[in-house]
């Protein structure tokens, strides 16, 4: 059957995504510059694999985060407390070295007149994360998007991540996590509310 792995294969074949010649050649140039031979057997298909991988890594550019917040619900049975989604795993890439950023996020808001399906918070995160990023901007973008389009009483976003540009190169310090946060509305102006949401997040 087409599209299924043959006997002995460990993974299914990658989707047939057209790779522009200049993109494949750019990867070949990088392999050559790194000191290897792009024409040796093990690297022959690497340029196409890398190009297709980057199409997937960067699919957030084609994903409108606002669209995930378009459908909201007004009937919440009088609920007026914090809505929190935590330990949301994500992957991104540093815009300075194109190195992986791997972490988790906690996203909370205090509803005003409407709520959104809880999975949509994760979708907003992924839409921004699947772009070239810096963690500080990613944190702000997620919070600002929810604040602007849900119009809640408060928004809190905390992101913890490991950066390969620090752990695998440069200072070479594995195991280090970077934490960023953005508080808006009541979570910024009211200390009690801020402490409450951070405690729910586990901080």
β 132-133/154-163 pair status? unpaired
Choice among 68, 94, 133, 141 that is catalytic: 94
Angle, nearest 10°, between helix axes 46-57 and 21-34?
A: 110
The active-site residue, picked from 68, 93, 126, 163, is 163
Known active-site residue 141? no
Can 96 be counted among the known catalytic residues?
Answer: yes
> Which residue out of 135, 141, 149, 196 is catalytically annotated?
135
Coil, strand or helix at 11: coil
94 is catalytic: yes
Q: Active-site residue among 91, 96, 136, 148?
A: 96
> Token digits for 136?
């500080």
Active-site annotation holds for 149: no
* Tokens, residue 140: 């702000």
Q: Which whole-number Å values give the CA distances from 158 to 109, 128, 140, 155, 194, in the listed order?
A: 12, 14, 10, 10, 12
Closest to 163 in 3D by CA, of 104, 122, 103? 103
Pairing state between β 115-116 and 178-185: unpaired
163 in catalytic set = yes
List residues with catalytic annotation.
94-97, 135, 163, 165
């Amino acid at each position: 059957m087409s599209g299924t792995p043959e006997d002995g294969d460990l993974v299914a074949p990658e989707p047939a995504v057209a790779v522009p010649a200049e993109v494949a050649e750019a990867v070949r140039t990088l392999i050559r510059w790194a000191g290897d031979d792009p024409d040796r057997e093990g690297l022959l298909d690497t340029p196409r694999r890398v190009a297709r991988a980057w199409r997937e890594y960067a699919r957030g550019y084609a994903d409108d985060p606002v669209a995930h917040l378009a459908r909201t619900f007004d009937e919440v049975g009088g609920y007026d407390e914090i809505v929190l989604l935590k330990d949301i795993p994500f992957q991104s890439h540093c815009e300075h070295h194109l190195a992986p950023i791997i972490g988790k996020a906690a996203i909370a808001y205090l509803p005003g007149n409407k709520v959104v399906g809880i999975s949509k918070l994760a979708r907003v995160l992924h839409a921004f994360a699947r772009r070239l990023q810096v963690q500080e901007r990613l944190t702000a973008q997620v919070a600002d998007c929810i604040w602007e389009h849900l119009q809640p009483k408060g928004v809190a976003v905390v992101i913890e991540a490991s950066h390969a540009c620090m752990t695998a190169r440069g200072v070479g310090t594995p195991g280090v996590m970077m934490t960023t946060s953005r508080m808006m509305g009541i979570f910024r102006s009211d200390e009690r509310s801020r402490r409450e949401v951070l405690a729910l997040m586990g901080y």
